[in-house]
Amino acid sequence: MIILINGAFGVGKTSVANELHKHIENSMIYDPEVVGYMLRHIITDDIKKPHEKTDDFQDLILWKQLVVDVAKAIKNEYKKPLIVPMTIYKKDYLHYILTGFREVDINTIHFLLTAKKETIHHRLLNRGEEEGNWCFQQIDKCLEGYQDEIFENKIKTDKLQITEIVNNIMEQIQFPECI
C-alpha cells in the first residue's frame, strides 16, 4: 500500500504522516522532498533547462521520475506500506506520480488535506515560518490547483485534530483494527 498525503505547506501532512506511521505496523515514511533536495544539489542553475529554472525543484524533469523510482525501489526491497507526505498542486505532476505509484502498488490511495487560507497561514506561523516566505507564497497556488477533480479524497482539516484526520484515513484504507 502507498498512502499519499497531499496538501498545502502547513496543512498538517507531516503530522498526519507521523501519526499514521504509529498506527500502520511496519510502515515507512517516504518524503519526496529529499529527492528534490538531492536534485537541487546536483542540478545547479547553470545546467538547468530553460523550463526548469524556477524556484520549485518539482519542475526539474527528473524529480517526478525519481520520486516514483525511489518508491518502487523501497517497496521492492522492504515490502512495507509507504506513507508519502508531499505538497503537489500541479495536476500533471500528480497524475504522473499517482500513475507511477499505482504501477508500483495497485493499493495506492491519495488524500488531500485541505484548510482555509487563514488556517494554513496560522499553522505556518505556529510552526515558526517567517511570514511571506516561500511556503506562504505557495498557498494560493495550492488552493487554486486543488480545485481540479484529480485531487481526490479531500479532508477538511480546519476544525479537526490530528487523531480525527488519522482515524478518517484509517477507515478509508480499511485498517479499522489499527484505530
**Digit-coded pLDDT (tens) for 90-127:** 999 999 999 999 999 999 999 999 999 999 999 999 99
Region of 174 on the Ramachandran plot (φ > 0 left; ψ -120 to 50 alpha; else beta): left
Mean of pLDDT values over 147-161: 94
Mapped to the 3 state alphabet, what secondary structure does 46-78 carry?
Answer: CCCCHHHCCCCHHHCHHHHHHHHHHHHHHHHHH
Residue 163 CB contacts under 8 Å (≥ 6 apart), including other chains: 19
pLDDT of residue 55: 87
Q: Is 82 exposed, middle or buried (0-12, 13-18, 19+ CB in 10 A)?
A: buried
The pLDDT of residue 176 is above 50: no
User: pLDDT tens digit string along 49-74?
Assistant: 999 999 899 999 999 999 999 999 99
Distance CA 86, CA 76 (A): 21
Range 127-146 average pLDDT: 93
Q: What residues does 7 pair with on adjacent strands? A: 113
